[in-house]
Amino acid sequence: MVDSRLFYTLHPVSRSLLGLALLSLATATHSLTYGLLLISVSATLLRAVENSWSRVRRSFGLLRWFVIPILVLHLFFSPGELIFPGWPLPLTWEGLQLGVTLSVHLVAIFFAALVLFLSLSRSEWLALLLSLPSVGRGLITYLILISPLRNSVSELLQALKLQWQQRRSWMQLPHMLVSAFSSVLAVAAEQSQQIWLRWPASKSMLAGPENSTSVLSQGASLACLVIALLGVGVAWQMS
């Protein structure tokens, strides 16, 4: 299995184009076979990038809330040949086929979008956002604030969750929600003050480690770029 460190030694353009090619193919194709193939490729790439199947498992757990209603609605309301003619429920083969095809199409797009999102590291995404000519300079404060604020809010919500599990009082729920909202605002104000006090050091937080390049990584980047361009071309022809 490919290690994530090897993946990020590839050139960012090659990685991002590979993710874009997968997303383009997933959007353009409506074939069940190609959709399943793209899901397999995207899930394998996610496993290679993160060295774990945890994100893939969590994604399938989330997608079931979209897939199940799609299947049920198409099974019940699509006209066609009945699967069980004697049943009072009008389940049709055409509805089953259409529901499965649309579900696979949705899952393929979702996983391809995940690959595109993870094709660049956090520092590369930040550098890309900061390079935007019109909004880059205005985003720098918010980008620096995101990471510490996310950690602080996560700890705060975890503490509130423990309090809720201990009390289980629905009468106290509105007060807890208001308290959570005001606490988040207070934490955000404190984090903003800390960033302002150490502003030069805070700006350096956006800089990520430089990727080491070698002849092997350059060759792999070139191969990845060629595959990505072929994928985009195929998606263009299919659309």
Greatest mean pLDDT among 119-133, 190-204, 218-232 lies in 119-133
Q: Residue 146 corresponds to which tokens in the numbers above?
A: 């995101």
From CA 98, how far away is CA 208, in angstroms rounded? 45
More confident residue, 139 or 160: 160
pLDDT at 218: 64
From CA 1, how far away is CA 14, in angstroms rounded? 19
Q: What is the pLDDT of residues 31-42, one digit of tens each?
A: 999 999 999 999
Q: What is the mean pLDDT of the chain?
A: 79
Q: Does the pLDDT value for residue 56 go beyond 80?
A: yes
| Confidence band for 185, pLDDT divided at 50, 70 and 90 | confident
pLDDT at 1: 46
Which residue has tokens 């993160």? 50
For the chain, which residues make up each domain, given as ranges? 4-121+213-238, 127-206
From CA 107, how far away is CA 131, in angstroms rounded? 32
The percentage of residues in the chain with a pLDDT greater than 90, rounded to a whole number, is: 27
Q: Give the residue among 162, 166, 165, 160 at the shortest CA–CA distance from 178.
A: 160
Residues 6+ apart with CB under 8 A from 87: none
